[in-house]
Structure 1
Amino acid sequence: MYNIMHNSKTGMIANQGKVDVVSNNIANVQTTGYKKLEVGFLDLYTETLDRNSYPNNSKDAITGTGIKISQATRNMIQGPIRNTGIKTNLAIDGEGLFCVIRPDGTHNYTRNGEFNLDAGGRLVDDYGNILDITYNNGILPQNANLANGDLIINKVGEVFLDDEKVGKIEMYIPKGDNDLIPVGDSIFALREGGGIYLAEKSKILQGHIEMSNVNMQNEMTDLIMAQRAFQFNSRGIKAIDEMWGMINNLQGR
């Protein structure tokens, strides 16, 4: 009976973790550039029941010790592209991430291209992170900023002001699936020892943004399944509690 209770307990904990992940995805269904989290379930240690003084009907009989939730991973599949008509908004069509410079000077990466112009004429996101643009000669032309003139950004990331090329926006791809660490606000930091390289086949769409890749129907289905599994495991604990109560009553007679 202890084994059944332990299995039910681990099932409840794992499914509660699943509910938390799905709830987080649902909360970010409208977050620009958000990438959904995915988790699965893993079996814990199993052991055979084929041993002395342990009655069983098969030498292949085994018992498990429950399950646990797997490490959450990011689904980097591209989300829907929405046309905003705002020239400072950018979306990546294909693989890759924008590089942004945080206030502390560190370089991070994001798919959120909902940029605006700050007082200095730089492209920034809603959190003040500056879009990393490689300017000609390393700097923005003298007496020029992105707020002045007609801003054009073509599909390969070249930045033009009044038909003059002033810089280029590069897109980056991590070398490994686990090279990026989420730091909040749809922004990722490069893990220590991780690598990154240029995305050469992707395109930038000016006047567009990439929406969240969360599918509401799929998330609601996963949420209902996790809640039902949680309830099922809780019934296992309730059944064992009732059996122990019956045993205690019999011993008291």
Structure 2
Amino acid sequence: MNRTMITATNTLGQLQHKMDIIGHNISNIQTNGYKRKESYFNDLLVQEFKNQKQENETGRLTPLGIRQGTGARISQSQLINSQGSIKSTGRNLDNALEKEDLYFRVRVSDDKGEDTRFTRDGAFHLNPVSNNPEQMMLVTGKGYPVLDENDNPIIIDGSIKNLTFSKEGQLTAEADNGNRQIFNLGIISVKKPQLLEQIGENLLGLPANFDQLGIKEEDILTSLTGGLREGISLNQGALESSNVDLSKEMTDLMNAQRQYQFNAKSVTMADQMLGLINGIR
């Protein structure tokens, strides 16, 4: 196969992956608390041909020999953890985290069992507990239980009159009979967001093999309990918007499409050149 074809095809698949990432960002522009991803390219290994007989050439500005590239690949797909804009909703179950390193803890059940995940989407709801309709559980919009600081689901007894979330993430539930229940929301501070995996449904989680990588959970995140809760900044009656900038994403998408077209054209031109060579008699 022509060397030009090899170089172009190596890059085409990576450009398609970049466009998929951009498309995913654009599709989540209205998702509360969504964090966009950005990909970065690096050159693959370069092959050098030493065809120079003389090592010193007067006036030469470029390195000796011929260097041929083999394409490019995505070297990093980075989670951009910048703060999205805060929009007021006036709904007392909506909560926005006002620091970019903070995440709510939620519990997810799947075929593999139960696990703890993290989200910035603070649009909460109250669902009746299946075995006790007089109790209400605080859940996310997808129905996942919101956890307290001890990793227990937040279950409220009795008929609820009012719910109040403090700036430090403390939930006070007032019943019709005047009784009050207090819960501390399970909130973490993420030190290394790039080590978290996007699980889907606007959730992040620890990598399955992080212990094999020689990394401890406390190196990635910190549970804000006790005196650390002073670092929490919660805004009740508001939600955080996605941090996706549509104009930037469209510009990046057009650039990626042009690069894809250029590499596809290189394959076509290389095929035409091979056709001309094969046609020589």
TM over 0.5: yes
- Aligned-pair distance for 1:185? 0.6
Q: 2:81, 2:193 within 8 Å by CA — same for their partners in 1? A: no
Deviation at 1:52, TM superposition (A): 7.7
Kindly report which structure 2 residues correspond to 1:72-151, keeping only aligned pairs within 5 A, or say none: 72-94=77-99, 95-103=101-109, 104-119=113-128, 120-134=135-149, 144-145=157-158, 148-151=160-163
Unaligned runs of 5+ in 2: 54-61, 129-134
**1:50 corresponds to:** 50
Output the amino acid matched with 1:220: M
Given that 1:102 and 1:128 are in contact with CA atoms closer than 8 Å, whether structure 2 keeps it comes out as no
- Equivalence for 2:131: none
Report the alpha carbon displacement of residue 165 of structure 1 after superposing the two structures with TM: 5.7
C-alpha displacement of 1:177: 3.3
Decide whether the 8 Å contact of 1:42 with 1:68 is kept in 2.
yes
CA distance in 1, matches of 2:76, 2:195: 14
Task: Give 1:89-238 correspondences, 5 Å limit.
Answer: 89-94=94-99, 95-103=101-109, 104-119=113-128, 120-134=135-149, 144-145=157-158, 148-162=160-174, 164=180, 166-191=182-207, 192-193=210-211, 194-195=216-217, 196-199=221-224, 200=228, 201-238=231-268
Aligned to 2:59: none
Return the TM-score normalized by structure 2: 0.79
CA shift for structure 1 position 60: 4.6
Post-superposition Cα deviations, 1:86-107, rounded to whole Å, max 9, x if no partner, equal 1111110002100012244422
Q: Count residues with an aligned counterpart.
A: 244
Q: Which residue pairs with 2:2 in the alignment? A: 2
- Tell me the secondary structure at the aligned position of residue 171 of structure 2: strand
For the aligned residue pairs, the C-alpha RMSD in angstroms reads 2.5
Change (3 A) 1:140 1:168: same
Q: Deviations over 1:87-136 (max 9, x none)?
A: 1111100021000122444221111111111113221112211111248x
- In structure 2, C-alpha distance between the alignment counterparts of 1:2 and 1:244, rounded to whole Å: 8
Query: What do the CA deviations read for 1:135-165 (whole angstroms, capped 9, x no partner)?
Result: 8xx8979x835x6021111110112233946
Change (3 A) 1:227 1:174: same
> 1:10-50: per-residue Cα shift (whole Å, max 9, x none)?
22222111111101111111111111111111111112121
* AA partner of residue 168 (structure 1): N
Question: Which ranges in structure 1 are unaligned for 5 or more consecutive residues?
Answer: none
Shift of the 41–134 alpha-carbon distance from structure 1 to 2, 3 Å rule, reads closer
Q: Cα gap change, 1:58/1:183 in structure 2, threshold over 3 Å: closer, same or farther?
A: closer
Secondary structure at the aligned position of 1:23 is classed as: helix
| CA distance, structure 1, for counterparts of residue 92 and residue 69 of structure 2 | 57
The residue type equivalent to 1:41 in the other structure is: F
Residues 207, 28 of structure 1: alpha-carbon distance in 2 compared, 3 angstrom cutoff: same
* Structure 1 residue 170 displacement after superposition: 3.4
Runs of 4+ in structure 1 over 6 Å off: 138-141
Asked whether the equivalents of residues 158 and 165 of structure 1 are also in contact (C-alpha less than 8 Å), the reply is no
Give the TM-score normalised by structure 1.
Answer: 0.87
Work out the CA distance in 2 between the residues paired with 1:90 and 1:101.
18
